[in-house]
């Protein structure tokens, strides 16, 4: 029997997953309490509202992310991203930040999801996560393309070195319709940290948080009932 593995992190209101990008807003569009006046006695609902940038938490970069004429998520065939044979390539960050073609040479990658385990995911939800992450080199991306990898995933902040404006791995993989995923939880050697459940709060309170979205250091989550600063 096949086993299903959840690769995703729980995304919380106000959680910063990439510096410079706004934190998600998660709130009640309709609270259970407010719904009671709309329905018959004993019938109630909750309707949540989520507002966030597309690359939050565990996500998939589609070709359109990089190229205006590339496929967006809705245009990627499901067969290209789901139920793929996978191969895990261990490239511990202790042996250096950059992961070169040598890490993949000689492996059978054709049609496979290539999941690169760097160990960087152990820094998830710490300041360290944003500084000095592991990444693939341009040569590694070229090899993955040439060897027919179907999808490439990494448990790191970014598959590219983000110390300059170049993004050769994004460019090579996404030009050739190889989606790439950031899966910070999947490879966590110690398992995922225990995270609190998303907070439920009125959208009004959440919106006050949005004004601070460009702040650095990162946003801190609003407490329940917080009105935020004016």
Q: At its nearest, how many Å lie between Zn ion and the CB of residue 224?
A: 33
CA distances 120 to 29, 51, 63, 74, 135, Å, are 36, 27, 25, 30, 10
Cα–Cα distance between 46 and 19 in angstroms, integer?
A: 31
Question: For Zn ion, which stretch binds (CB under 5 A), given 1-9, 20-28, 58-66, 103-111?
Answer: 58-66
Q: How near is the Cβ of 222 to Zn ion at its closest, in Å? A: 28
Query: In what side-by-side order are the strands of the sheet with 59-61?
Result: 59-61, 180-182, 151-154, 113-117, 86-90
Measured from the CB atom, is 43 or 164 closer to Zn ion?
164
The tokens of 127 are what? Answer: 């300041």
Shortest gap between Cβ of 160 and Zn ion (angstroms)?
8
3-state secondary structure of 73: helix
Nearer to Zn ion, 18 or 206 (CB): 18
Cβ 151 to Zn ion shortest distance, Å: 14
* 93 part of the interface to Zn ion, by CB under 5 A: no
Q: Which stretch binds Zn ion (CB under 5 A): 41-49, 56-64, 125-133, 141-149?
A: 56-64
Q: Which region, judged by CB under 5 A, interacts with Zn ion, from 60-68, 75-83, 115-123, 184-192?
A: 60-68
- At 152, phi and psi to the nearest 5? -125, 130
Query: Does 61 participate in binding Zn ion (rule CB under 5 A)?
Result: yes
Side-chain half-sphere CA neighbours of 170 within 13 A = 18
CA–CA distance, 104 with 133 (Å, rounded to integer): 19
Nearer of residues 65 and 200 to Zn ion, judged by Cβ: 65
Binding site for Zn ion (CB under 5 A): 61
């Amino acid at each position: 029997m096949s086993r299903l593995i959840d690769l995703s992190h729980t995304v919380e209101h106000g959680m910063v997953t990439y510096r410079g990008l706004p934190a998600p807003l998660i709130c009640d569009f309709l609270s259970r309490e407010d719904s009671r006046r709309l329905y018959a006695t004993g019938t109630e609902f909750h309707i949540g509202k989520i507002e966030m940038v597309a690359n939050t938490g565990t996500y998939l970069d589609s070709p359109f992310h990089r190229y205006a004429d590339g496929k967006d998520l809705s245009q990627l065939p499901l067969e290209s991203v789901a139920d793929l044979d996978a191969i895990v390539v261990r490239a511990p960050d202790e042996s250096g930040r950059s992961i070169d073609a040598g890490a993949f040479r000689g492996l059978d990658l054709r049609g496979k999801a290539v999941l690169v385990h760097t160990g960087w995911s152990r820094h998830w939800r710490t300041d360290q996560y944003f500084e000095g992450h592991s990444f693939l080199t341009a040569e590694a991306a070229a090899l993955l393309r040439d060897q027919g990898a179907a999808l490439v995933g990494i448990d790191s902040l970014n598959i590219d070195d983000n110390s300059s404006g170049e993004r050769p791995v994004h460019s090579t993989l996404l030009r050739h319709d190889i989606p790439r995923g950031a899966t910070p939880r999947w490879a966590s050697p110690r398992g995922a940290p225990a995270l609190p459940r998303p907070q439920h709060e009125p959208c009004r309170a959440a919106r006050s948080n949005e004004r601070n979205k460009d702040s650095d250091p990162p946003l801190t989550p609003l407490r329940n009932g917080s009105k935020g600063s004016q």
